[in-house]
Structure 1
Amino acid sequence: MEGSTPGSVIVQDRFQQFDMRRWRVEAECPDDSTVTVQRGGLVMDTSAGMTLWLTQRLAGAYRIAFRRQVLVEGKANDRLSDFNCFWAAHEMNGSGLSVRDGVLESYDSLATWYVGMGGNGNTTTRFRRYDGSVRRPLLGEWLDEGHLLKAGHAYQVVIEVTADGTGFSVDGERVFHQALAGLPAPGYFGFRSVWSRQRITDFSVQAL
Structure 2
Amino acid sequence: MFSDRFRHGLGQWRIEAEAPARVSATGGVLDIEAPAGLTLWFLPRLAGRIAIDYEAQAVSEGGAHDRVSDLNCFWMAQDRAAPKGNALARPRTGRFEDYDDLETYYVGLGGNGNSTTRFRRYVGTPGIRPLLPQNDRRGAEDMLVGNRWQRIRLTADGARIGFFRGDRQLFAFDDPAPLASGHFALRTTASHLRIRDFTVSRLA
> Structure 1: which amino acid aligns with 2:16?
E
Contact 2:77/2:105 (<8 A) preserved: yes
Match of 2:123 in 1: 131
The answer on 1:19 being equivalent to 2:7 is: no
- For structure 2, the residue ranges without an aligned partner over 5 or more in a row are none
- Give the root-mean-square deviation of aligned CA atoms: 1.4
Segment drifting more, 132-141 vs 79-88: 132-141
Any conservation in 2 of the 1:61–1:183 contact (CA below 8 Å)? no
The answer to whether structure 1 residue 60 and structure 2 residue 52 are counterparts is no
String of CA shifts for 1:36-85, please: whole Å, max 9, x gaps.
12431000111000000001110110000000000010112111110100
C-alpha displacement of 1:184: 2.1
SS of residue in 1 equivalent to 2:97: helix
SS in 1 for 2:35: strand
Distance 1:152 1:119, change over 3 A: closer
Q: Per the alignment, in what secondary structure is the counterpart of residue 198 of structure 1?
A: strand
SS of 1:187's partner is: strand
* Equivalent residues in 2 for 1:96-175, closer than 5 Å: 96-97=86-87, 98-118=90-110, 121-133=113-125, 134-139=127-132, 140-175=135-170
SS in 1 for 2:136: strand
> Which 5+ residue runs of structure 1 have no aligned equivalent?
1-9
Q: Is the 8 A contact 1:122 1:148 kept in 2?
A: no
Count matched residues: 196
TM value normalised by structure 2: 0.91
Counterpart contact for 2:106–2:122, Cα < 8 Å: yes
Which residue of structure 2 lines up, in the alignment, with residue 40 of structure 1?
A: 28
Indicate yes or no: 2:185 matched with 1:190: yes
2:70 corresponding residue in structure 1 = 82
